[in-house]
Amino acid sequence: MDRKHELNKFATEIRLETVKQIGNLGFGHIGGCMSIVETLAVLYSGVLKNDPKNPKWEDRDWLVISKGHAGPSIYSTLALKGYFDIELLKTLNKGGTSLPSHCDRNKTIGIDVTTGSLGQGISQAIGIALGHRQRGMDNWIYLIMGDGELQEGQVWEGAMFAPHYNLDNLITFVDNNKQQLDGYTKDVMNVESIHKKFEAFNWHVQTIDGHDVQAIEEAIKIAKVTKGKPSVIVLETIKGKDCTYAQGDIDNHHMRVSEEDNKKAVAKLEAMMASFKERGVSK
């Protein structure tokens, strides 16, 4: 089966494990976890230079999840790639866990940077990219931000800094799912046009369907051959994508989940997984 189907299958696996995590806990940041799944599937399927057996490998590519509340989807990805036992996902945000609700590099194997205070991730990613450049390292720094996060002034300080220092080893994704904690971004504080704003700061900008794995992979390839400036890939996404109780709900940033709703969400994703199996998608 072709790579597109393999990537979509992996994305569905990530969604399924993430829904299980949050359902087991009974609440969580489901919306923003679901909207970046395809990007994670692409990154962890041969794009990101990493080694689950050596997570602190010095020459690895780094991933900064600035929207740290999307931690559960990252944990699902890391577990599926063998960074730690998948059974650990059942401990999400519980006492003594190594999987807190927001990403913490000191607790979770495979997490490069502690995040959660929105806006700070771009500063961290830029600092890492600049430091690695000065050390002559040949690796990539990937950054994932939310669209509501762009309302933070710190983001635009970073947007000015990165092109000035020609940080073409930095590839940023903006998860433009058009929703945030308090409603639609256009109503809270309109961030559009994201494409034009970053272009004005002299970034190389692409806007794509954030649920199209082939488009994501191609955009990364283009970003990697763009020299002299950082790249941003604006992902047009759906918050809560493919989660039966979350997609289409304006309040899906953080939700309580009933046992019944969780069962329905899991059943839908398990059916999607079964359809891949029927088509012979094995990876």
pLDDT band at residue 92 using 50, 70 and 90 as cut-offs: very high
Tokens matching residue 193: 């046009």
The per-residue pLDDT for range 201-224, each reduced to its tens digit, is 999 999 999 999 999 999 999 999
Identity of the amino acid at 128: I
Q: Specify the pLDDT at position 281.
A: 58
pLDDT at 51 over 90: yes
Tokens matching residue 199: 């272009």
pTM of the model: 0.95
Mean pLDDT, all residues of the chain: 95
**Domains contained in the chain, CATH given:** 3-278 (3.40.50.970)
* CA atoms of 5 and 26, how far apart (whole Å): 31
Percent of the chain with pLDDT over 90: 94
* CA atoms of 113 and 62, how far apart (whole Å): 9
pLDDT at 278 over 80: no
Residue 20: strand, helix, or coil: helix
The per-residue pLDDT for range 135-193, each reduced to its tens digit, is 999 999 999 999 999 999 999 999 999 999 999 999 999 999 999 999 999 999 999 99
* CA atoms of 12 and 270, how far apart (whole Å): 9
Q: Specify the pLDDT at position 7.
A: 96
CB 236 within 8 A of CB 207: yes
pLDDT at 280 over 80: no
The per-residue pLDDT for range 225-264, each reduced to its tens digit, is 999 999 999 999 999 999 999 999 999 999 999 999 999 9
Q: Specify the pLDDT at position 68.
A: 87
